Structure 1
């Protein structure tokens, strides 16, 4: 049975209580600051700060946004800024660390890394000669920010308003605790009044990027492909403020925008050859085992429970792949600590699990499986920015930290359409469909406006009869190559069409033709209808049946060792769920072992592939990551083989 691992403590979130309509400022807590130092900076008392920020009593964490009441005092704020004034060389001695050097020279660890980029990827070593930045400290007096009302314009979201007034999204939310998740046209909110002269215009020719926690210029260079000076040229205020979590940056549209089309696949990377970190990785796995429903009275009862419960069955298969991956990673020298949680297929249980455990300590979270439970976990972990990977979900709400590992159905459809379009010869295209899939047929007709369409015969009542005649198909075929789309979920209709087409392929359409017709069968929606007992694999092979899929069947010759080891461990051949559990876990952990975090790995390892699955993540401009890697396969000699581009 699945063994639960112990975890640490309750995560504390900073939340804001109701704030009365008056003037407020916001403050982003810096490392080392206390309530006393902040209160002196703004000429208010600590009790006034705590009244608006009650959670600050528990802990004052760096980067927390505090609401600060505007003091009635006329004294201006004193702002201390550090300006780079040069460098001093330092030769690293034995036992010296970034922390000890930061204390010795009174600079932050991030500042040392900033001017010694190799330290982002490599540890500090004895004998290294590094540059220590020297800063000139200056003090400036500034007026305390006040707020003014602002009416939300059509199509304005939080990031647009934040960008307009030169603040971060988090600061905007802090000034408006009740404004909700989305802004409504005509809604009145508070914005800083001292930013009036610097209101930024939204340029639709550019894209915009929200800075995530702990992101510096080096990470943005890897993510966006932009140097610091390029970002500062597009966002002049950066030179003064530096990067702030939640701030919105203008970036070239082509640098980080996602489209609905499939781009050419990038070169695959073998991560096992590029291991960077030897630190133990922490992984949380959330699956619907529903062990509370299992009858443990006897082995027979337990087996019966597993057989009856599809969620437990699926979870055990998937988890067996995870365990097998962990064993393989251990042999590579990669240490992984895994905590497994039973979500019981309940949204409320997911909330309890996250509330009662320290998820901030995890490098990544895999699961839950179902859309509702995954949405709950993703929304709860949003504040922590912990990467969470959905094993099978599609059309998810892509928060900044979400990875949708299963490619969307539209990508599968587009893969097939692009394949047909890539054939430079003028070929005949036929679309065969039943009434249920007429919308797909019409969509294909728009893609290939010169194609010809054939629909299922009807019964007297007007329902699909799920068959066509030989003459229906023979009349639309031409000498030479014919691409035939078959769009159906009816096994009987699929059997009828494939058997007729198999009899017609490589035959002369009429006595006058000198060339026979070749039929290549295709579908944009591969489903159970094409795998039923009525379907002949010989017919599918003869028709070179093409379809796209998120995973290909593993080759027993190429993966003999994988299959043999799995069968030895579990006394059964791995199914698709087990292989997906293996592939996904291998990808997540190897990305963590070769990059500073999962987010950066998207650029450092753009495309990876394992036994049956591959991963090529793209990022939404304002959102998370989605996998664009799909396979195009075909039947050949009774086997499924990948169609290479």
Structure 2
């Protein structure tokens, strides 16, 4: 019997060697996800060869890793290197788990640095050492294969991911310098599979990208397709299961857009449990070196003439008022204010001169390069960095992007119109520059009519930015019609609004909407009376505070400064109070930022969603409308 087992083992080992499998010994702190990312395979691939790993996964476990179809080029990898130790005196109610979370280390790493913890429990008053690590970035080469692929016309990320049987995230991992929007002719790294193995993107089908945590049950509710139906269209599901980012083929008539998640408002005041003092750094471009504090008039002129400085100071006031409001709830804050001077060199110096490793969060900086530098520098210590006034180019794992993405704004407006059962028609009016986006919008509303602006009579390649009254003649009838106006040309907006207002008679109701309310809608030729008459709707990251309701922040601001708060002051207040409330409701900001938690304050609301291999992006969006010269939230 023993000889038979030996022969089987030898045969199995030979099989693994022949297929170029790899043995991996699990190290402390590693997860199935981190290991699969290291070898460019999926967790499902690892579980298929190591079924026991689902119930028993611990250090020194030996895993069989299949050969990846992806990559033969050097890739950037990260490892942790011990720097030194930080002394910590244990406080009441502190646990090993809590300290591990706080300092971004594992419980086992703390025990190794304090051997007595293997035989004794952690107790108040213990003086222990916390290991500190730095992230070492190096290049590593895997013995796998990759080939170059030239992007074809009309191909996007998901089409290419589907063609080569990988997820969108895996395609992005293969191509770290790929543009957000790829263009025909771009060269990408793709798995080196046979041409006959490439999938064909069939025009007669629709396609859907699987979101994180989605199950066959949730897809049944969203797509109205059973697991059996999905597996029939996508046979690979039977072996791989659902994976976030994978692209599924679905019937053409299936609505793959879905609705944006609706989450009830969360009142964090009832969940406050963590009342230790919060350490917050505020990094803003005050540019104090340019201000002569001895000349009051000169300072006033600088504030008046610099929109950036005015916005920064208003935001700062909002932050201070939020700290005061939090203090009344028992939340104390240690705030450190730092001047980045809107300069990368100054920001780098601040990072060198200050230790942020034990901070609960850092707000800012505003300038993109400086923000990226701070986020990367604090990533190793897992310190959250809040993008308060800008959208960062890279959402690292410790980044909290408070401004929702443009695609979320667009989707919010589309979902709002779709949800109105009283609409009779949808009309899309667009200039030539927005033609492609408007055609995609028309796909959202199959029975809609698309009207494009006229071209210049002399120069046929130039957009004249107008439409004839005849273009919209007989388009509108009794009932409600939504009109999407897609442009950033002020004169075009003005002429279209004038034409539409002339059609609002008797039982004809026209609701003007746009997915992108840009500055062209605020031009001198456009008045709020005309917009109010058309009940103008648009998606927004914030709303105006309600003047009809009692508001402590607005009242206190008016009392202190004699004017109503600007949107920057309100944003400083909202972001800071939300940050402090979340920190006080959990051990850290990551735990307090689940996508089931949605908060709302003066003009802003927040619901964070963790992006794959990245940080947290706010998904809470308003749809607002003009109502009797006021801008209010649309219900």
Shift of 1:274: 2.1
**DSSP-derived class of the 2:397 partner:** coil
Shift of 1:395: 5.7
**Equivalent position of 2:431 in the other structure:** 434
**Equivalent position of 1:298 in the other structure:** 295
**DSSP-derived class of the 1:600 partner:** coil
* Structure 2 unaligned residues grouped into runs of 5+: 1-23, 30-78, 102-118, 122-139, 149-173, 179-187, 192-208, 214-239, 248-255
**Equivalent position of 1:534 in the other structure:** 525
Distance 2:211 2:603 in 1: 38
2:540 aligned to 515, 538, 549, which one? Answer: 549
Q: Please say if residues 597 and 607 of structure 2, whose CA atoms lie closer than 8 Å, have aligned partners that are also in contact.
A: yes
Distance 2:435 2:282 in 1: 41
TM-score (norm 1): 0.61
**DSSP-derived class of the 2:351 partner:** helix
Distance 2:345 2:562 in 1: 36
Distance 1:531 1:398 in 2: 31
2:84 aligned to 37, 45, 59, which one? Answer: 59
Distance 2:502 2:555 in 1: 40
Distance 1:444 1:377 in 2: 38
1:522 aligned to 513, 516, 541, which one? Answer: 513
**DSSP-derived class of the 2:427 partner:** strand
Distance 1:97 1:609 in 2: 33
**Equivalent position of 2:19 in the other structure:** none
Distance 1:205 1:485 in 2: 29
**Equivalent position of 2:160 in the other structure:** none
Query: Does residue 572 of structure 2 align to residue 581 of structure 1?
Result: yes
Q: Please say if residues 206 and 251 of structure 1, whose CA atoms lie closer than 8 Å, have aligned partners that are also in contact.
A: no
Considering only aligned residues, what root-mean-square deviation do their CA atoms show, in Å?
Answer: 4.1
Shift of 1:485: 0.6
In the TM superposition, what whole-angstrom CA distance separates every residue of 1:262-317 from its partner, at most 9, and x where no partner exists? 53221111112321122111101111111122233411111222233333222111
**Equivalent position of 2:459 in the other structure:** 461
Structure 1 residues 364, 491: CA separation in 2 closer, same or farther (over 3 Å shift)? same
Distance 1:277 1:534 in 2: 53
Structure 1 residues 256, 575: CA separation in 2 closer, same or farther (over 3 Å shift)? farther
Structure 1 residues 387, 262: CA separation in 2 closer, same or farther (over 3 Å shift)? farther
Q: Please say if residues 415 and 632 of structure 1, whose CA atoms lie closer than 8 Å, have aligned partners that are also in contact.
A: yes
Distance 1:155 1:383 in 2: 33
**Equivalent position of 1:477 in the other structure:** 476
Distance 1:560 1:111 in 2: 37
Distance 1:557 1:331 in 2: 25
Distance 2:384 2:259 in 1: 24
Query: Does residue 408 of structure 2 align to residue 416 of structure 1?
Result: no
TM-score (norm 2): 0.62
Q: Please say if residues 152 and 185 of structure 1, whose CA atoms lie closer than 8 Å, have aligned partners that are also in contact.
A: no
- Which moved further from structure 2: 411-420 or 476-485? 476-485
In the TM superposition, what whole-angstrom CA distance separates every residue of 1:369-413 from its partner, at most 9, and x where no partner exists? 132221111111111110111013236312111111110111001
Structure 1 residues 443, 395: CA separation in 2 closer, same or farther (over 3 Å shift)? farther
Query: Does residue 330 of structure 2 align to residue 333 of structure 1?
Result: yes
Distance 1:97 1:559 in 2: 41
**Equivalent position of 1:323 in the other structure:** 320
Query: Does residue 401 of structure 2 align to residue 372 of structure 1?
Result: no
Alignment of 1:152-551 (within 5 A): 152-154=144-146, 253=243, 263-394=260-391, 396-424=393-421, 427-459=424-456, 460-462=458-460, 463-507=462-506, 516-551=507-542
Q: Please say if residues 366 and 389 of structure 1, whose CA atoms lie closer than 8 Å, have aligned partners that are also in contact.
A: yes
**DSSP-derived class of the 1:583 partner:** helix
Shift of 1:415: 0.7
**Equivalent position of 1:151 in the other structure:** 143
Shift of 1:504: 0.4
In the TM superposition, what whole-angstrom CA distance separates every residue of 1:446-488 from its partner, at most 9, and x where no partner exists? 3223322222334333433333333322332233221111112
Distance 2:80 2:411 in 1: 52
**DSSP-derived class of the 1:365 partner:** strand
In the TM superposition, what whole-angstrom CA distance separates every residue of 1:325-366 from its partner, at most 9, and x where no partner exists? 111112222101100111111122222211210101210111
Distance 1:96 1:494 in 2: 62
Shift of 1:423: 3.1
* Structure 1 unaligned residues grouped into runs of 5+: 1-23, 30-52, 63-94, 100-107, 115-131, 135-147, 157-178, 188-203, 209-249, 508-515
Q: Please say if residues 343 and 368 of structure 1, whose CA atoms lie closer than 8 Å, have aligned partners that are also in contact.
A: yes
Distance 1:453 1:595 in 2: 50
**Equivalent position of 2:43 in the other structure:** none
- Which moved further from structure 2: 469-478 or 590-599? 469-478
Q: Please say if residues 579 and 611 of structure 1, whose CA atoms lie closer than 8 Å, have aligned partners that are also in contact.
A: yes
